[in-house]
């Protein structure tokens, strides 16, 4: 690899010396480093040199062969939207505890990088979803999500009704606090907190999980990802929000339709050679501890 991007969580002071060391490490290997302009300005004394390239955040995925993300799972989710369909692998490095997406620790970072820059690495292909809002037949907004699209009532709102179909066939009208439409990657996020199943991330499916359903027999359901799910809001005069990966929001109106289906393309995450998925599960969820 000859061109590598670095994106770090904003307002994280401890990331500054880590990025500076990374830039020096790549310079010694004659590898160009691309960083967003806002990040470059945070360094005092400033970073400089012909190997360091400053670029707009939106342009970064087009110019590099890999992106290193320093932060947590939330930071990686924002970068996933940025990468889109550029097919650029992401190396997620957690600056705190171990993450489900940012599974590389600081202690093993340079050992992993030695392998990666030589092309000795394996990527994990993660499916993404396309979520759209349709209002009176017009497509109002469209989003791509790695974790989930969540329809949720406001803090003071009552239970909402969501008339849900799969490929045009009526499923049910969920009477609940909301509905989670999740990828396998997102199964360990909000879906898990709402009682949904943990799904191995390479499986091709979508998880539908009601949030606090009024009818207790409304349970999560796992369906193939080659279908189109539509949930129509059938409740008037309520504050209802569609949230995407917990980071973007869109206010819904009566009879708005949220359409969710598999998106084109996928996300490539570089796997740790020192840790497997089940080890991450055990550590994050504290399985086996008393």
pLDDT band at 96 (very low <50, low <70, confident <90, very high): confident
Burial of 220 (0-12, 13-18, 19+ CB in 10 A): middle
pLDDT surpasses 90 at 60: yes
Domain spans of the chain, in order of start: 3-122+271-285, 128-264
- The 3-class SS string of 9-68 reads CCCCCCHHHHHHHHHHHHHHCCCEEEEEHHHHCCCCCCCCCCCEEEECCCCHHHHCCEEE
Lowest-pLDDT choice from 46-50, 51-55, 143-147, 223-227: 46-50
Give the separation between CA 164 and CA 3, rounded to whole angstroms. 46
Residue 215 has a CB neighbour count (10 Å cut-off) of: 12
* Mean pLDDT for the stretch of residues 40-64: 83
Tokens of 171: 């499923």
pLDDT band at 214 (very low <50, low <70, confident <90, very high): very high
pLDDT digits (tens, 9 = 90+) for 157-208: 789 999 999 999 999 999 999 999 999 999 999 999 999 999 999 999 999 9
pTM of the model: 0.92
* pLDDT value, residue 7: 93
Catalytic residues: 73
- Please determine whether the domains at 3-122+271-285 and 128-264 fall in the same fold group of CATH: no
Say what percent of the chain tops pLDDT 70: 99
CATH number for 128-264 (one of 3.40.50.150, 3.90.1150.10, 2.60.200.30, 1.10.357.10): it is 2.60.200.30
- CATH code for the domain defined by 3-122+271-285: 3.40.50.10330
Highest average pLDDT, of 35-44, 50-59, 80-89, 254-263, comes from: 254-263
Q: What is the dihedral of CA 166, 168, 173, 177, to 10 degrees?
A: 50
* Mean pLDDT for the stretch of residues 143-165: 93
The larger pLDDT score, comparing residue 257 to residue 82, is at: 257
């Amino acid at each position: 690899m000859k061109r590598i991007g670095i994106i770090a969580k904003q307002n994280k002071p401890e990331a500054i010396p880590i990025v500076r060391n990374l830039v020096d490490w790549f310079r010694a290997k004659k590898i160009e480093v691309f960083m967003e302009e806002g990040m470059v300005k945070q360094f005092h004394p400033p970073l400089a040199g012909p190997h360091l390239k400053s670029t707009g955040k939106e342009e970064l995925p087009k110019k590099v062969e890999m992106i290193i993300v320093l932060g947590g799972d939330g930071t990686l989710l924002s970068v996933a939207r940025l990468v889109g369909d550029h097919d650029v692998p992401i190396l997620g490095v957690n600056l705190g505890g171990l993450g489900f997406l940012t599974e590389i620790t600081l202690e093993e970072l340079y050992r992993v990088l030695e392998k990666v820059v030589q092309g000795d690495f394996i990527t994990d292909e993660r499916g993404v979803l396309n979520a759209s809002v349709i209002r009176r037949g017009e497509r109002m907004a469209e989003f791509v999500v790695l974790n989930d699209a969540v329809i949720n009532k406001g803090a003071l709102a009552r239970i909402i009704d969501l008339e849900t179909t799969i490929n045009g066939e009526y499923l049910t009208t969920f009477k609940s606090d909301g509905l989670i439409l999740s990828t396998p990657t997102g199964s360990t996020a909000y879906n898990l907190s709402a009682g949904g199943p943990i799904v191995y991330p390479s499986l091709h499916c979508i998880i539908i999980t009601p949030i606090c359903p009024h009818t207790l027999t409304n349970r999560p359901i796992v369906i193939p990802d080659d279908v189109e799910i539509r949930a129509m809001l059938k409740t008037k005069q309520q504050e209802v929000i569609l949230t995407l990966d917990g980071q973007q929001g869109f206010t819904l109106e009566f009879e708005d339709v949220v359409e969710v289906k598999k998106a084109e393309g996928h996300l490539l995450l570089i796997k740790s050679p020192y840790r497997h998925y089940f080890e991450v599960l055990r550590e994050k969820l504290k399985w086996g501890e008393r």
